[in-house]
């Protein structure tokens, strides 16, 4: 082998080593850049995860408030139904008491010799309906339950 060949072989080996070093350095730089990009993405993901967790907490809090409001509304509806039933029962008792008072008054009128019984049958306005204007001062107004003695036999 002559000197030229040896020089070219040494140059080729040095060139291969330089190319390998450049490739290794480029690869190392590429790995470092990709690692930095991955770290940046992880930070964004952590930030987004914390934001989503806060939103999830708000959603759970809102759902809990909605459940509490619904429970309160259900309780109010049950109370309203109970009060409506109580009012209906009291209205029935009131109606019964008014009818009882009316029948007692009519009975008293029938027994009283001072009451003109012909006037009870008189139709003063000609519509075929008995006119009880003279008894209106004794009637209890609807809804005036405090003026009526409660029916204690129903309790």
Tell me the pLDDT tens digit for each residue of 125-151. 555 555 454 444 444 444 444 444 555
Arithmetic mean of pLDDT over the chain: 84
Choice between 130 and 105, residue whose per-residue pLDDT is larger:
105
- What's residue 121's pLDDT? 56
Q: Is residue 90 in a domain?
A: yes
Q: Is residue 126 in a domain?
A: no
In the predicted structure, residue 49 carries a pLDDT above the cut 70 = yes
Of 48-52, 111-115, 137-141, where does mean pLDDT reach its minimum? 137-141
> With bands split at pLDDT 50, 70 and 90, how would you rate the model's confidence at 24?
very high
In the predicted structure, residue 68 carries a pLDDT above the cut 90 = yes
CB 108 within 8 A of CB 114: no
Using a cut of 0.85, tell me whether the model's pTM lies above it. Answer: no
Percent of the chain with pLDDT strictly greater than 90: 68
Q: Is residue 88 in a domain?
A: yes
> With bands split at pLDDT 50, 70 and 90, how would you rate the model's confidence at 115?
confident
Give the residue numbers spanning the domain of 12.
Answer: 3-112+133-154
Q: Is residue 127 in a domain?
A: no
Choice between 116 and 60, residue whose per-residue pLDDT is larger:
60
Let me know how long the chain is.
155
Tell me how many domains the chain contains: 1
Q: Is residue 117 in a domain?
A: no
Q: Is residue 128 in a domain?
A: no
- Which tens digit of pLDDT belongs to each residue from 73-88? 999 999 999 999 999 9
Contacts of 138 (CB under 8 A, 6+ apart): 105
Mean pLDDT of 99-123: 82
Choice between 116 and 15, residue whose per-residue pLDDT is larger:
15
* Rounded Cα distance, 32 and 25, in Å: 10
Q: Is residue 145 in a domain?
A: yes
Minimal CA–CA distance to 96: which of 52, 16, 153? 153
């Amino acid at each position: 082998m002559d000197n030229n060949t040896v020089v070219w072989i040494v140059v080729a080996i040095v060139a291969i080593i330089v190319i390998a070093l450049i490739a290794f350095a480029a690869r190392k730089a590429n790995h470092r850049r990709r690692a930095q990009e991955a770290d940046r993405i992880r930070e964004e993901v952590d930030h987004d995860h914390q934001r989503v967790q806060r939103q999830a907490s708000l959603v759970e809090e809102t759902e809990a408030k909605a459940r509490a409001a619904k429970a309160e509304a259900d309780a109010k509806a049950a109370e309203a139904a109970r009060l409506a039933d109580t009012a209906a029962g009291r209205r029935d008792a009131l109606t019964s008491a008014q009818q009882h008072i009316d029948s007692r008054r009519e009975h008293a009128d029938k027994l009283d010799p001072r009451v003109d019984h012909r006037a009870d049958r008189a139709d003063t306005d000609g519509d075929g309906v008995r006119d009880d204007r003279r008894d209106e001062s004794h009637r209890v107004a609807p809804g005036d339950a405090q003026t009526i003695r409660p029916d204690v036999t129903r309790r």
